[in-house]
Structure 1
């Protein structure tokens, strides 16, 4: 994740929290959580406000949450009442730890040139048969918008990246609209990816 994008979240954390904390994510949870074992260990990678972490904890899952923004780490720690780790994707160094990894609207800030390395780290951190959820804004460009850097992906673009990971296989991908009322015109690529045994 670029320094510019991290700085954006540090400087605009209050606005981001206000716009994202109460967004209804239930349709996406319903695609992810049924695939996990009871009391699964989840990594919420790029947890932001801690909204999704809080939901997973309430469902009986064990969750490790990380984020690259110090301001969001501080807020999320208070919101979920457990420590959130200040860490970037590139600093993930776990091996065969997690039953599931949740990357909701977070990998989209990783430069395209680094995505393959990040997916390798995520695959290494997953247990065999582990489940990875990812979402990207739909498109095929790298761009800067309001101070944040974005990597947009289509189904083909994501498949190209995942095909370089021998242990990962896309189980499902689908398109959704943005759940925030003022951004209903924006489209998202969602995918469930499984780590092969």
Structure 2
């Protein structure tokens, strides 16, 4: 008996005579998000922070790095002490020297304005010795030998008095104007203003 032969047709997937070449795997593209701020904004913030830092350094160098002893008042590059007790002219000068300072030498209108305001602060006082003396009749001299300039002086009207018996100078607090210097006798007791250079740390 003859055996029966059965044929079947079989198909294979991707059956091809050409070799299959695989390419690189596809990379997933990052999702695009809309930008929330302009590109220049971080640069602007950085610049502003830098300017703030520079401003702080300038302020600290101007104010924070100079100091005065307790009870003294700072203005520009100097420290000022306004006494509450009274001494005569010579002892006032000695007292300031003993504190490493001198009776104040007023060299500008802004300094005169500052001191005039300070003398009006509480407690109420009347006269303050400053470092201006009459060396010879009509010849005024600052305690530190700074040349006396009559155009930068702040005498009250009618001052200084003629003669040589009033050869020390005070700021007369009751005078409402900046011209408040008054010459007085050296043995009279008044308050004093001492001046020292501010300490730089």
Higher RCO structure (Cα 8 Å, ≥6 apart): 2
Determine which structure has the larger helix proportion and give its number: 1
TM-score by length of 1: 0.25
TM-score by length of 2: 0.24
Mark the structure with the bigger radius of gyration: 2
Determine which structure has the larger strand proportion and give its number: 1
